[in-house]
């Protein structure tokens, strides 16, 4: 069976599922009046959330962007976005946009308009309840994606005080970490936590106090903690320490106090014999340059954020991490792909803000691997021969830690149906393991190859970087899983194709389809 026949079969099966499910969402409408039927007939892609049953993705196809009913061509972008929410929002579980979502960010680039929304319930934000709307220059719909906690009906009056929640978080942190040095917490805030937006779960939504516990030391801590606002129990805790061009580079001199003693500024060369400091500074520059040259992005926050790095952290500390505000490296760990990897966690924090847990965390890790390797392949430094190409951390003192071209070689999955795919709760739900699925996809999409019955031609570094960047900045939300990435990589390619950006062709988007199906992303959450 050819690639196109396999995709046609996949599309047919998907259409049958949607055809049986979507009419239930359009109860009360006359036959043939369902807007989603109209969308599908134009070649648009529509997907459902596997647990809520609501639509979580509407994307335009190769034929072009989607006309929004009721939107005139002269309409402003804000008016057009609001109309799109009114027309299609009910299928996502959104019935009153003015009361149920609030704008968190808008961006306009080359005539395109992107708006991100945060779900709120009685003015309280919902964790991972987010929508993203993308319009083209003619105010037509490119995509509407994200997930909401539907039909919320819970008390928003806490029985537990913020101080009690803070004590519970600090007590928990001392149990979760064998060594913790003077932990601190942020101010607790009320949020709503619906587990099914982050992982497969049947647990109900609940009101929580959200806070972060931080501490320095050999076991650095940046723990997101949700404390049930009615019972005081810890509902969820996630380690957000993401392990492994205005620059400032420091040395900790074997200590753990951050940032340490400054050695290099942007305007001064690194001098002296400390190779780690020099490399941390240099590769931070390489990372900045890649993001600027390929994406016209000005640092991690796209607003010139200083790239702060600390080398020589701890004694015999064999790791590196992003702590939410700067990079930290143990001895001999500032190597090019690791630096690019960790700094990309910062980009993710400012863009999709993927929660560092389960599938969203695996995508977070993979995106760091992807940009780390693309930077490694293009900065003209080190060995990029075929024997080490697509290895993560090949220059580390401990050797490579992952293979993107062959994830199973390191015990990681290359597709969701792989026996290596981890379904437990360790490693924050397998974030460093299940990243192999997206890693394999990035490798295939860049270099090409045959995998799982599909033959793919490589698009090269530039196009792959642009497609992944479009997904990162304009499509993914904090709770996105592999099922979302399956749609968002495709839509990222479609958006670039329809806007004439990056030299993307329709056949390039076909290759994206091959890769995401071969790696079985559609089986994800």
* Residue 152 maps to a domain: no
Tell me which of 203, 222, 239 is where a domain ends: 239
Kindly report each contact of residues 297-301 with a partner whose C-beta sits within 8 Å and lies 24 or more positions away, as own/partner: 297/347, 299/245, 299/246, 300/343, 300/346, 300/347, 300/349, 300/350, 301/346, 301/350
What's residue 242's pLDDT? 78
Mean pLDDT score of the chain, rounded to an integer?
A: 89
Which region holds residue 227: left if phi is over 0, alpha if psi is between -120 and 50, else beta? beta
Q: Are residues 454 and 375 in the same domain?
A: yes
**Where residue 314 sits, what CATH number does that domain have?**
3.10.170.10
Active site residue 359: no
Residue-wise pLDDT for 352-393, tens only, equals 999 999 999 999 999 999 999 999 999 998 778 888 999 999
Whole-angstrom distance, CA of residue 126 vs CA of residue 147:
11
Query: Using H for helix, E for strand and C for coil, what is the string for 9-73?
Result: HHHHHHHHHHHHHHHHHCCCCCCCCCHHHHHHHCCCEEEECCCCCCEEEEECECCECECCCCCCC
Which residues make Cβ contacts (< 8 Å) with residue 217, sequence separation at least 6? 179, 180, 181, 256
Among 254, 369, 361, smallest CA distance to 316 is for 254
Q: Is residue 156 part of a domain?
A: no
Q: Are residues 277 and 382 in the same domain?
A: no
- List all residues 6 or more positions away from 125 whose beta carbon is below 8 Å from its beta carbon: 118, 119, 191, 192
Q: Looking at the domain assignment, is residue 13 inside a domain? A: yes
Catalytic, out of 100, 130, 147, 342: 342
For residue 258, the 8-state DSSP code is S
Which of residues 350, 368, 386 is at a domain's end? Answer: 350
Same domain, 235 and 245: no
> Are the beta carbons of 137 and 111 closer than 8 angstroms?
yes
- 100, pLDDT greater than 80: yes
CATH for 389: 1.10.390.10
Confirm whether 469 is domain-assigned: yes
Two structure tokens written together for 41 = 């007939």
Q: Name which residue leads in pLDDT, 250 or 501.
A: 501
What is residue 23's predicted lDDT score, i.e. its pLDDT? 30
Other beta carbons within 10 angstroms of residue 33's beta carbon come to 10
pLDDT, position 502: 85
Residue 93 lies in a domain: yes
Residues 380 and 489 in one domain: yes
Q: Check: CB of residue 430 under 8 Å from CB of residue 422.
A: yes
Same domain for 231 and 248? no
φ and ψ of 155, to 5 deg: -70, 140
Instruction: Give residue-wise pLDDT tens across range 463-474.
Output: 999 999 999 999
The per-residue pLDDT for 21 is 33
pLDDT reading at 143 higher than 50 = yes
- Count structural domains, the chain: 4
Res 263: pLDDT: 64
Residues 378 and 500 in one domain: yes
To the query of whether residue 432 is one of the catalytic residues in this protein, the response is: yes
The more confidently predicted of residues 134 and 398 is 134
pLDDT score for 275: 87
Q: What mean pLDDT comes out for the span 310-322?
A: 85
Q: Is residue 154 one of the residues assigned to a domain?
A: no
Token representation of residue 472:
């990162």
Structural domain that includes position 21: 3-147
Domain boundary, last residue among 147, 177, 201: 147
Same domain? 120 vs 177 = no
291/398 Cα distance (integer angstroms) = 28
| Tokens found for residue 77 | 């972008």
Of 8-12, 191-195, 317-321, highest mean pLDDT: 191-195
Residue 167 CA: distances (Å) to CA of 175, 176, 224, 516: 13, 14, 14, 44
Within a domain: residue 204?
A: yes
- Same domain assignment for residues 51 and 8: yes
Q: Burial level of 523, CB count in 10 A (0-12/13-18/19+)? A: middle
Cα gap 142→114, rounded to integer Å: 10
Amino acid 303: pLDDT = 95
Check: CB of residue 143 under 8 Å from CB of residue 132: yes
Q: Are residues 507 and 359 in the same domain?
A: yes
Cα 174 versus chain centre, distance: 29
Pair of tokens at residue 146: 């994200």
Give CA separation, 411 vs 194, 360, 430, in Å. Answer: 31, 20, 12
User: In this structure, are 346 and 360 located in the same domain?
Assistant: no
CATH number of the structural domain spanning residue 209: 3.10.450.40
Active-site residue identified among 359, 432, 470, 520: 432
Token pair in block for residue 481: 């899983």
- CA gap 250, 152 in Å, rounded: 48
Q: Based on the fold, state whether residues 210 and 195 are members of the same structural domain.
A: yes
**Are 328 and 404 within one domain?**
no
Do residues 136 and 65 lie in contact, with contact meaning Cβ atoms separated by under 8 Å? yes
Ordered DSSP codes for 422-435: --SSHHHHHTTTTH
Residue 39 CA: distances (Å) to CA of 65, 232, 509: 10, 46, 19
Two tokens, residue 159: 């029985």
**The pLDDT of residue 40 is above 60:** yes
> Is 80 a member of any domain?
yes
């Amino acid at each position: 069976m050819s690639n196109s026949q396999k995709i046609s079969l996949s599309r047919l099966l998907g259409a049958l599922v949607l055809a049986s499910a979507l009419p239930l969402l359009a109860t009360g409408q006359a036959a043939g009046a369902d807007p989603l039927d109209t969308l599908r007939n134009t070649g648009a892609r529509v997907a459902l959330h596997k647990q809520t049953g609501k639509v979580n993705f509407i994307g335009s196809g190769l034929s072009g962007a989607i006309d929004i009913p009721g939107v005139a061509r002269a309409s402003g972008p804000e008016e057009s976005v609001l109309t799109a929410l009114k027309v299609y929002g009910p299928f996502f579980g959104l019935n009153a946009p003015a009361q149920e979502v609030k704008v968190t960010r808008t961006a306009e680039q080359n005539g395109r308009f992107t708006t991100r929304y945060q779900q709120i319930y009685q003015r309280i934000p919902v964790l991972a309840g987010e929508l993203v709307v993308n319009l083209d220059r003619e105010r037509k719909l490119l995509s509407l994606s994200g997930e909401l906690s539907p039909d919320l009906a819970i008390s928003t009056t806490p029985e537990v005080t913020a101080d009690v929640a803070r004590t519970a978080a600090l007590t928990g942190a001392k149990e979760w970490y064998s060594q913790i040095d003077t932990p601190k917490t942020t101010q607790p805030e009320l949020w709503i936590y619906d587990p099914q937006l982050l992982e497969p779960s049947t647990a109900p939504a609940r009101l929580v106090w959200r806070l972060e516990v931080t501490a320095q030391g050999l076991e650095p801590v940046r723990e997101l903690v949700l404390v049930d606002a009615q019972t005081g129990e810890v509902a969820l805790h996630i380690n957000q320490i993401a392990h492994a061009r205005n620059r400032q580079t420091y040395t900790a001199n074997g200590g753990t106090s951050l940032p340490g003693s400054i050695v290099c500024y942007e305007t001064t060369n690194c001098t002296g014999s400390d190779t780690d400091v020099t490399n941390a500074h240099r590769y931070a520059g390489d990372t900045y340059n890649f993001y600027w040259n390929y994406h016209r992005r000005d640092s991690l926050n796209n607003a010139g954020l200083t790239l702060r790095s600390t080398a020589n952290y701890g004694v015999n500390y064999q790791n590196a991490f992003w702590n939410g505000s700067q990079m930290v490296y143990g001895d001999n760990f500032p190597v090019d792909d690791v630096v690019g990897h960790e700094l990309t966690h910062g980009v993710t924090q400012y863009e999709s803000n993927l929660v560092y847990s389960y599938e969203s965390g695996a995508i977070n890790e993979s995106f760091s691997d992807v940009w780390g390797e693309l930077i490694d392949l293009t900065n003209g430094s080190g060995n990029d021969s075929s024997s080490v190409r697509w290895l993560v951390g090949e220059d580390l003192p401990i050797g490579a830690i992952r293979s993107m071209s062959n994830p199973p070689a390191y015990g990681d999955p290359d597709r969701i149906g792989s026996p290596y795919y981890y379904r437990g709760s360790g490693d924050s739900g397998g974030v460093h393991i299940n990243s192999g699925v997206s890693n394999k996809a990035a490798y295939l999409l860049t270099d090409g190859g045959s995998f799982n019955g599909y033959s793919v031609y490589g698009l090269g570094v530039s196009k792959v970087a642009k497609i992944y960047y479009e997904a990162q900045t304009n499509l993914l939300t904090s709770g996105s899983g592999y099922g979302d990435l399956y749609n968002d990589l495709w839509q990222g390619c479609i958006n670039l194709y329809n806007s004439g950006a990056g030299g993307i062709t329709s056949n390039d988007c076909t290759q994206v389809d091959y890769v995401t199906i071969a790696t079985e992303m559609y089986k994800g959450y």
